[in-house]
């Protein structure tokens, strides 16, 4: 039987080419389950059992549902993920033209696998800041949702050794081609600089003039849609599985959770791929600010309530795990190499690149066992350094025990990644059990 949530995940990924669009998609999902939006700038009034959410700068989000008991007595079950992905960020004003070709200057965001961006149709999406009446700034999302660019490779005849490895210079080799008009006659007199191709294209997409655009945050993305494949559609091929899969799993579990005595929290952060140290990243005050306001409005007055609530809480950091790769088996520790469709993997590291400790792992594995969800372990081969997640950061900021978990995937940080469709179902079931059980399960 095909996986139950794979199609919904594909639709979420395709609707979320950038963090701004991912938060927009997440807000739509929360609105559909009856959640109410709050504004950080306004006063809040909260009701037990009702879901709420707060968005920061259109790129991060914290949703919560109050429990029946005071937070200082029941704590919070917190699940977090990140909405950003490695890729190519466009430079708006810069024009790069030669012999009829127009290209767009880019810079790397995070740690993308450069070669995977070549020879595939690319689209463009992001957020644009526009002039508005009264000297204010209007923010608009833009999503071309169609191929607009390509980064062609060099023909092998010019480098017969290229299959032995090529380094692609970001400022030369990885500039997307957006137009090929043929050779143009040289201008006979100097003219005022014309808006860049990017400025003109974005302005046309929004139905306005280029000089209306003050600034923009734009990203080139894989133009091909997310798909499932295999005899039973058991494999998922998509861009940004790291970590929109985690976001969708957290949202799905949160939306379906019933109110309990404890609070339930879903946190989606931007900028994990560049260290999280931003106002909308996990290494910010955002989550603690929201929890502090919730406690101050729903608990007994006094300075101890927030500290007691956090001390009773438990958190899950949900981010992809490196799945065992049959073509590179030597890169893995065979005893800690999770396979696709084998269930979520608990991730741990001696140097705390992941936040998991023995107690957190035991609790998550017990929850999986109680729900009949298969559970695996991931440890990097001891002589290699793993990546990291929001787990250690949010755990340190909150002082909350945290377990790092994720579905196994192949080609992490590629323009397109591969994961198991059934693992997404498993993760949603595990997180649903996590929200239902509450932090008291830690003991």
pLDDT single digits (tens) 5-31:
999 999 999 999 999 999 999 999 999
Mean of the pLDDT values across residues 282-294?
Answer: 98
Mean pLDDT of the chain: 95
- 3-class SS of residue 404: strand
Delineate the domains of the chain, giving CATH numbers in brackets.
6-85+239-442 (3.40.630.10), 87-222 (2.30.250.10)
Give the separation between CA 213 and CA 108, rounded to whole angstroms. 23
Mean of the pLDDT values across residues 106-118?
Answer: 97
Mean of the pLDDT values across residues 77-98?
Answer: 95
Mean of the pLDDT values across residues 228-241?
Answer: 97
Give the separation between CA 155 and CA 363, rounded to whole angstroms. 54
The string of DSSP codes covering 58-127 is TTEEEEEE--SS-HHHH-EEEEEEE----EEEEEEEEEEEETTEEEEEEEEES---GGGGTTS-EEEEEE
What burial letters (b/e) apply to 420-436, b meaning 16+ CB within 10 Å? bbbbbbbbbbbbbbbbb
The pLDDT tens digits of the residues spanning 160-215 come to 999 999 999 999 999 999 999 886 665 555 555 678 999 999 999 999 999 999 99
The pLDDT, as a whole number, for residue 185 is 62
- 3-class SS of residue 266: strand
Give the model's confidence band at 95: pLDDT under 50 very low, under 70 low, under 90 confident, else very high. confident
The pLDDT, as a whole number, for residue 93 is 82
Tallying the residues shown for the chain, one arrives at: 443
The pLDDT, as a whole number, for residue 184 is 63
The pLDDT tens digits of the residues spanning 119-169 come to 999 999 999 999 988 889 999 999 999 999 999 999 999 999 999 999 999
What is the share, in percent, of the chain residues with pLDDT greater than 70? 97
What is the share, in percent, of the chain residues with pLDDT greater than 90? 92
């Amino acid at each position: 039987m095909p996986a139950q949530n794979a199609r919904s995940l594909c639709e979420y990924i395709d609707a979320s080419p950038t963090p701004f669009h991912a938060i927009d998609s997440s807000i739509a999902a929360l609105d559909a389950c009856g959640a109410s939006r709050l504004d950080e700038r306004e006063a809040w009034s909260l009701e037990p059992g009702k879901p709420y959410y707060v968005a920061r700068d259109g790129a991060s989000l914290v949703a919560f549902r109050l429990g029946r008991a005071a937070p200082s007595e029941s704590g919070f079950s917190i699940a977090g993920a990140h909405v950003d992905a490695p890729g190519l960020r466009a430079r708006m004003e810069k024009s790069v033209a030669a012999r009829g070709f127009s290209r767009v200057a880019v810079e790397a965001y995070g740690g993308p696998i450069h070669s995977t961006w070549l020879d595939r149709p690319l689209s463009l999406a992001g957020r644009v800041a526009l002039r508005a009446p009264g000297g204010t700034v209007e923010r608009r999302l833009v999503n071309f949702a169609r191929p607009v660019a390509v980064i062609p490779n060099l023909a092998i005849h010019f480098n017969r050794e290229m299959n032995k490895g090529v380094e692609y210079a970001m400022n030369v080799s990885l500039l997307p081609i957006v137009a090929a008009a043929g050779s143009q006659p040289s201008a006979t007199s100097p003219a005022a600089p014309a808006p860049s191709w990017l400025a003109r294209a974005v302005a046309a997409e929004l139905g306005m003039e280029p000089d209306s655009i003050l600034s923009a945050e734009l990203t080139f993305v894989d133009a091909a849609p997310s798909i499932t494949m295999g005899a039973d559609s058991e494999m998922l091929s998509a861009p940004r599985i790291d970590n929109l899969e985690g976001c969708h799993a957290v949202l799905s579990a949160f939306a379906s959770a019933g109110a309990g005595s404890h609070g339930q929290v879903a946190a989606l952060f931007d900028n994990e791929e560049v260290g999280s140290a931003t106002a909308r990243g996990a290494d910010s005050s955002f989550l603690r600010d929201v929890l502090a306001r919730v406690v101050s409005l729903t608990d007994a007055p006094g300075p101890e309530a927030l500290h007691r609530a956090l001390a009773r809480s438990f958190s899950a950091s949900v981010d992809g795990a490196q799945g065992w790769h049959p073509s590179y088996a030597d890169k893995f520790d065979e005893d800690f190499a999770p396979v696709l469709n084998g269930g979520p993997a608990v991730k741990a590291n001696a140097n705390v690149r992941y936040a998991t400790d023995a107690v957190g792992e035991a609790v998550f594995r017990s929850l999986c066992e109680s729900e009949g969800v298969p559970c695996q372990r991931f440890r990097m081969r001891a002589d290699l350094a793993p990546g990291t997640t929001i787990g250690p950061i949010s755990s340190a900021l909150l002082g909350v025990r945290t377990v790092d978990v994720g579905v196994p995937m192949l080609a992490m940080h590629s323009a397109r990644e591969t994961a198991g469709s059934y693992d997404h179902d498993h993760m949603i079931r595990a997180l649903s059990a996590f929200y239902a059980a509450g932090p008291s399960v830690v003991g």
